[in-house]
Structure 1
Amino acid sequence: MNETLFRSATDVAGMIRRREISSRELTETLFARVEAVNPVLNAVVECRREETLREAALADEVTARRGQAGPLHGVPITIKDSFDVAGMHTTWGDPGAKDFVADSDATIVRRLKEAGAIIAGKTNVAFMLADFAQTANELYGVTNNPWDPSRTPGGSTGAGAAALSAGMTFLEYGSDLVGSIRIPASFCGVYGLKPSAGIVPLTGFGPPGVPSTLTESAYMSSLGPLGRYAADLRTALQVTAGPEAPTAYTWALPPSRRTRLADFRVGYVLDCPQAPVSSEVGALLSDAMDALAKNGATLVEGWPGGVDPVREAESFGFHVGLFFAYQQPGEEFAPLSQVIEQEHRRMTARATWIDYFTGIDVFLCPSNFTPAFPHDARPFDQRTIVTPEGERPYTDQPFWISHASLAGLPAVVAPIGRTPAGLPVGLQIVGPLYEDNTAITFAEVLADVVGGYERPPL
């Protein structure tokens, strides 16, 4: 097996620029990997092989003449099938959209291309992105987890996380409304970033034929990258974030507050009576805290003062409902007084977290109470998850991702190890608002003492 397939996107771009490997050679190797592995996982649903190889050859010509090369120069990547890519299908897993072909690129696709990346294919999604823990639809079928194909890779970016984990892409870009980046990253053993609210443009991210609504509800729906290494999250965010014209201005990712693990001030909560983690997840979380303490990080246990985690999780659910009410005008929803009350709760939560991060650099908590579980095709409200402590409702899963989402905070999921059954578990690293780099840097230094990407046994 070609070890280069499991290098970071950032490193591989450097290899191409230094002419240690050609983009075309790398791309051909990647497509061979897709052909070998994808039949097991069903993660990549569309490839643009000829166009990708042609673009890779052009990237090599630029390298040969020492032309200007971006941070992702010549690197083949995949993108979630909810972003427009000119000449490719955008279906959102809807059989009714199977013939729709985009005629322009989403903003993040254009920016990735400008950074030198080559879009090699698209990855599967949950139908209309409407599942946070499984990836399946009638058009393309079910996507499997690379650590155990009988289990889910998460949703709705589950196929992107599976493809990345299995070496079928170097970078994936996804979306996160109800943990749709973070839960798949945890289930597949890769890194995933939900950026600070509103810093990555949403243009070109939408169901085919559905007109834009009057509000993007950007504080709820975030677009962000997944990578096998935390540094790739930074590279991808640097080239995709920032406002669009006509309000565009020079944007830069603020530097991390700290660079050494021992200098970080770390808040954490590993469990909650209303959403208890399973024992197999809890053991790995506890081990991670022990490693941090041993390596000198300052640890402060407990929720921020003023944060009611149960109430905020309920408020998050309300705002998700409000998001969909915007997308489906005319549907009955809560009275205006309730909307105002819940908006007040959201802004109060944001202010509380902003104040908390004046004395704390990152906040750590679970990404889910469970590792990847077996596929479950039952109706949503009938699904359950078996844990060592008993069955749990399927809908318990969003509790841990809700707090960063409600307040619009950046959150990185980082792999911290595997359960006795060999399933990955991720730790959620919540950072200060607009300080995504602090969370990313913590994920990097965390990997030096615990966890990090491991190759699945495919």
Structure 2
Amino acid sequence: MVTESGGFDYPRASKVHRPSDDEDIAFMSVIELGELIRTKKVTSRELTDIFLRRLKRYSPVLQSVITFTEDLAYKQAKEADDLLEQGKYLGPLHGIPYGLKDIIAVPHYKTTWGSRTFKNQVLDMEAYVYKRLKSAGAVLVAKLVTGSPAYDDIWFGGRTRNPWNIEEFSNGSSAGPAASTAAGMVPFAIGSETVGSITYPAARCGVAALRPTFGTVAWTDVMSISESLVFSWKLFVNIVRLVLIS
């Protein structure tokens, strides 16, 4: 909901307690994690540690990560923690780790499009959706698998698996975001869709997905197969409500 001042009115969780087990933290909703950060019951650095460990532990099985952005993640986490110490809270994504489908350009990191041909490609570009998430205080921990090139779940490193049954696959080119979110490897992730790349992996992996109206989220510096059909989107686990950054 948009407020009179032009901002977003988002739900707040109340009386959120930090679990003693990191496994439980990994499956908390974005709203719950945001409240833990806002109330200083957990730091962004701690969340970044938790989710990077899970990404490194489970990605070899699920084949859902192309590039870890570890140095960037710790830099952004420190910035988020420092801002909070100064009394500045940016909103529900402040300090929250996330992943990007690897068709979305981030400076100094590979953007492979899932293709063997482009597996070493580094684009000196900063995608609009990444800029918006950065300004919201979110912390990028990994570039996640896209099928090659933005088609299905087969990429140059293998085929992304379904965390509910690793004998099956994630399906759809946003396979990495779907599988990683479902497995609690990231609290949320950004993918894209031309035809089915949102709906197929979300259905297969059992996560909720938001497919926004075309044009709501700019696809600047995002690889596209069809310029008139590409959407940016988010995946969440245990959603209280979907909050669109646009």
Q: Are residue 130 (structure 1) and residue 151 (structure 2) matched? A: yes
Partner Cα distance (1:42, 1:84) in 2: 20
The residue identity in structure 2 corresponding to 1:16 is I
* Paired residues of 1:70 and 1:114 also in contact (CA < 8 A): no
Q: Does the residue aligned with 2:57 lie in a helix, a strand or coil?
A: helix
- Return the offset for 1:120: 0.8
Q: Deviations over 1:325-370 (max 9, x none)?
A: xxxxxxxxxxxxxxxxxxxxxxxxxxxxxxxxxxxxxxxxxxxxxx
Q: Are residue 183 (structure 1) and residue 192 (structure 2) matched? A: no
- Return the offset for 1:102: 2.2
Residue number in structure 1 paired with 2:28? 7
Structure 1 residues without counterparts, runs of 5 or longer: 208-212, 242-458
Residue number in structure 2 paired with 1:22? 43
- Return the offset for 1:51: 2.2
- Return the offset for 1:188: 0.4
Q: Are residue 216 (structure 1) and residue 233 (structure 2) matched? A: no
Residue number in structure 1 paired with 2:211? 194
Structure 2 residues without counterparts, runs of 5 or longer: 1-20
* Paired residues of 2:209 and 2:235 also in contact (CA < 8 A): yes
Partner Cα distance (2:58, 2:119) in 1: 24
* Paired residues of 1:164 and 1:170 also in contact (CA < 8 A): yes
- Return the offset for 1:205: 0.7
Q: Does the residue aligned with 1:150 lie in a helix, a strand or coil?
A: strand
Q: Does the residue aligned with 1:119 lie in a helix, a strand or coil?
A: strand
Q: Does the residue aligned with 1:216 lie in a helix, a strand or coil?
A: coil
What percentage of residue pairs aligned between the two structures are identical? 33
- Superposed, 1:341-420 pairs within 5 Å as none
Residue number in structure 1 paired with 2:165? 148
* Paired residues of 2:27 and 2:238 also in contact (CA < 8 A): no
Aligned length: 225
* Paired residues of 1:182 and 1:193 also in contact (CA < 8 A): no
* Paired residues of 1:17 and 1:69 also in contact (CA < 8 A): no
Q: Deviations over 1:105-134 (max 9, x none)?
A: 110110011111111101111111123xxx
- Return the offset for 1:229: 3.1
| TM-score of the superposed pair, with normalisation by structure 2 | 0.86
Q: Deviations over 1:182-215 (max 9, x none)?
A: 11111001101211122111111116xxxxx9x8
Larger Rg: 1
Higher helix proportion, which one? 1
- Superposed, 1:159-308 pairs within 5 Å as 159-206=176-223, 216-217=227-228, 220-231=229-240, 234-235=242-243, 237=244, 239=245, 241=246
* Paired residues of 2:109 and 2:123 also in contact (CA < 8 A): yes
Partner Cα distance (1:227, 1:4) in 2: 14
Of 158, 165, 171, 2:175 maps to 158
The residue identity in structure 1 corresponding to 2:109 is M
Partner Cα distance (2:179, 2:38) in 1: 28
Q: Does the residue aligned with 1:202 lie in a helix, a strand or coil?
A: coil
Q: Does the residue aligned with 2:100 lie in a helix, a strand or coil?
A: strand
Residue number in structure 1 paired with 2:68? 47
- Superposed, 1:306-345 pairs within 5 Å as none
Partner Cα distance (1:85, 1:188) in 2: 26
- Return the offset for 1:171: 0.8
- Return the offset for 1:226: 1.0
- Return the offset for 1:148: 0.9
Partner Cα distance (1:229, 1:221) in 2: 26
Q: Are residue 101 (structure 1) and residue 122 (structure 2) matched? A: yes
Partner Cα distance (2:80, 2:140) in 1: 13
Higher relative CO (Cα under 8 Å, sequence separation at least 6) belongs to 2
Runs of 4+ in 1 over 4 A off after TM superposition: none
Partner Cα distance (1:221, 1:65) in 2: 39
